[in-house]
Structure 1
Amino acid sequence: MIESEVEVISVEDEYAWVRVKPHGSCGNCDPESGCKTVALTRLFGGAQEFRVRNPIDAQPGDLVLVSVDDGMLLKSALWGYGLPLALLMAGATLGHLFAPTRMANRIALLGAVVGALAAFMVLWIRRSKMVEPVIVEKRGPGQPTSSTCKNQSQ
């Protein structure tokens, strides 16, 4: 699991807007996968504020722990980049193969556009099935900050 300590900014129904807490490098981050807090931020395009599910009714100002499955970063990249590229290329190839010779380039371009639009429609329909980050626990003011570093000395 990728976990990060964040601060709740505002609450909307079953969701909360949170801000990633800045932290310094400890020098002991997981050498195999790197800093997981940075990975969580990259999942949202580098944004420092993002929306998460809030099943524990956290309130603005609370420090909370947000969690996302480890494979979510790779899955979202494959769906977001791989599917549109694959359907764009498939549409262009099919358009080129089945078009009359004098119109092959135009039909290939049309096939590419149709393939890309199909990919975006699939992603739009599938958006409700995407895994969302979720608040898993509240952190009290006396609790030590969470760390994804395995060897951090206290």
Structure 2
Amino acid sequence: MIFSEAQVERCEGEFAWVKIRPHSPCGNCDPKTGCKSVAITRLFGHAQQSYQVKNPLHAKPNDYVKVAVNDGDLLGTAVWAYGFPLLLLILGAVLGSALAPVALDELYSLLGAVIGFLLSFIVLRMRNEKAKQTQPSIVEILPNAIKLKNCSSH
């Protein structure tokens, strides 16, 4: 299991929206520039700041919680999100090239790659319902008296 500390922003039925908190020091802290891990995440991360998780413990807004996700679920999601589109792109290009007349094989290869890539998005959209079953979940409500550590507290 992979764990992360978070704060509940809002609740919607059996789900909660949490904001992941910077974790305790990991060795990448620099007294002058702060947490390198957080800086790298901000550089490459997207704008989404809060995430929907299952809330079986009925945490309330402003509660500090521990969120968990299975290692296998994380790896499987990464393979599907990155590997599957790449595989269909390559297969589409190869198939397009194989079916093309000799003079147009580059065009057919490009067209096959685009069709394969678009097909992967359709499959991933349909698979999205299954992915919701492996959604991260709140596994512990932390006492509000515990301050979640971050690199700026040093």
Shift of 1:79: 0.6
| TM-score normalised over the length of structure 1 | 0.75
Task: State TM-score, norm by structure 2.
Answer: 0.75
The alignment of Structure 1 onto Structure 2 pairs a total of residues equal to 133
Distance in 1 of aligned mates of 2:137 and 2:24: 24
Q: Which runs of 5+ in 1 are unaligned?
A: 28-37, 147-154
Any runs of at least 4 consecutive aligned residues in structure 1 with deviations exceeding 6 A, and if so which?
143-146
Amino acid paired to 1:100: P
Q: Which amino acid aligns with 1:25?
A: P
Letter in 2 for 1:62: D
Maintained 8 Å contact 2:10/2:61: yes
In 1, Cα distance between equivalents of 2:93 and 2:26:
49
What runs of 5+ residues in structure 2 fail to find an aligned partner? 28-37, 150-154
**In the alignment, structure 1 residue 25 sits paired with structure 2 residue 25:** yes
Q: Secondary structure at the match of 2:60?
A: coil
Alpha-carbon separation, structure 2, partners of 1:142 and 1:24: 16
Post-superposition offset of 1:140: 2.0
Give the match for residue 9 of structure 1.
9
The equivalent position to 2:140 in structure 1, one of 130, 137, 141, is 137
Q: State the 1:125 CA deviation.
A: 0.7
Give the structure with the larger helix fraction: 2
**How far off its partner does 1:26 sit?**
5.1
Change over 3 Å in CA distance of 1:142–1:77 after alignment to 2: same
The alignment partner of 2:71 has SS state of coil
Could you tell me how far apart the structure 2 residues matched to 1:104 and 1:88 are?
16
Call closer, same or farther: CA 1:49–1:105 in 2, change over 3 Å.
Answer: same
1:23, CA displacement in angstroms? 3.5
Q: Percent identity?
A: 47
Distance 1:26 1:99 in 2: 54
Q: Secondary structure at the match of 1:136?
A: strand
Q: CA RMSD in A?
A: 2.6
